Amino acid sequence: MEQAEPEASPRLGLDIDRTMQAAVPNSTGDTVFEVEDLNVYYGDFRAVQDATFTVYEHEITAMIGPSGCGKTTVLRCFNRMNDLIPTARVEGRLDFRKVPIYDPRVDPVEVRRRIGMVFQKPNPFPKSIYDNIAFGPRVCGMAKKKSDLDDIVEQSLNRAALWDEVKDRLKDSALGLSGGQQQRLCIARAIAVDPDVLLMDEPCSALDPIATARIEDLMQEIKNDYTIVIVTHNMQQAARISNRTAFFTAQLDSITDQRCGLLVEYDRTETIFSNPSDERTENYVTGRFG
């Protein structure tokens, strides 16, 4: 049904909409996030202005744009991570599988369990590799027996393509791993609680090209089970891995007279990179951004 009437690219009432109807690989066409007129404020400062787009199941959705364009802010709205910033305020509609997650009745802890997150800087806990993975299942009460927990740890590390490298030293500190291994550990930690969505905030920006390639391969593998939203500064990365791309930019807000994040264009990745409908998008993806 969703495929017949796709809600993608709602900002653009252009003929691009018709190209959206082409089948997307792996996609079931179900929507995961529906964002409408999303505004995010930090105190009086408006960080994101009227963002409207839809994230589809089993796709990788990339958010690109220059620094300060609000893409990370939008990402952190998806699992209510912005709640940790006391001055942050979110307005507009943000539905996760038809549930408005900013409804007062919604428990942010439950939201974050279903919508996992991988951060820009690998942030393993200063505990053993095993305890890093087991932390989530433990706090969520997922494993009744030790053997269940062992299984979850092994499966998660396997999925994150890290098991073979660490299986003999699960009791060692996670801080002894290399940067790339730490980031895969963080991915394993995120998928250990069996989330629906993985949010990734520039997960490769601290990694070398080889480690980056491994993470990208990993994302392609796991997107059959999860929906991935990734913020990246690396346009080639967005082009390589994502199904859809949202291009954000920062522009002067006429009301507050401050720079504010704006969603310029949202479309299938091929379209964004080969035939964007907005000049600003074209300038950015071709490297002519002013």
Taking the least distance from each CB to another protein, the nearer of 73 and 271 is: 73
List 6, 70, 116, 261, residue binding another protein (CB under 8 A): 116
- Asked whether position 186 contacts another protein by CB under 8 A, the answer is yes
Q: How far is the CB of 104 from another protein (least distance, A)?
A: 17
Question: Can you read off the two tokens belonging to residue 62?
Answer: 């990339």
The number of angstroms, rounded, from the C-alpha of 86 to the middle of its chain's C-alpha atoms is 22
Taking the least distance from each CB to another protein, the nearer of 31 and 128 is: 128
- Asked whether position 105 contacts another protein by CB under 8 A, the answer is no
Q: Could you say which residues in the range 39-68 bind another protein, by CB under 8 A?
A: none
Say how far apart CA 119 and CA 249 lie, in whole Å. Answer: 21
List 139, 158, 220, 286, residue binding another protein (CB under 8 A): 139
Q: How far is the CB of 141 from another protein (least distance, A)?
A: 10
Contacts of 26 (CB under 8 A, 6+ apart): 58, 59, 223, 224, 243
Asked if 72 and 201 count as a contact pair (C-beta separation under 8 A), the reply is yes
- Asked whether position 121 contacts another protein by CB under 8 A, the answer is yes
Taking the least distance from each CB to another protein, the nearer of 12 and 174 is: 174
Burial 195-215 (b: 16+ CB within 10 A, else e): bebbbbbbbbebbeeebbebb
Contacts of 284 (CB under 8 A, 6+ apart): 64, 65, 66, 235, 247, 249
List 174, 204, 238, 285, residue binding another protein (CB under 8 A): 174
Question: Can you read off the two tokens belonging to residue 171?
Answer: 């009791």
Q: Name the residues that contact another protein, by CB under 8 A.
A: 79, 81, 84, 86, 109-110, 112-113, 116-117, 119, 121, 123-128, 135-136, 139-140, 173-175, 186, 189-190, 192-193
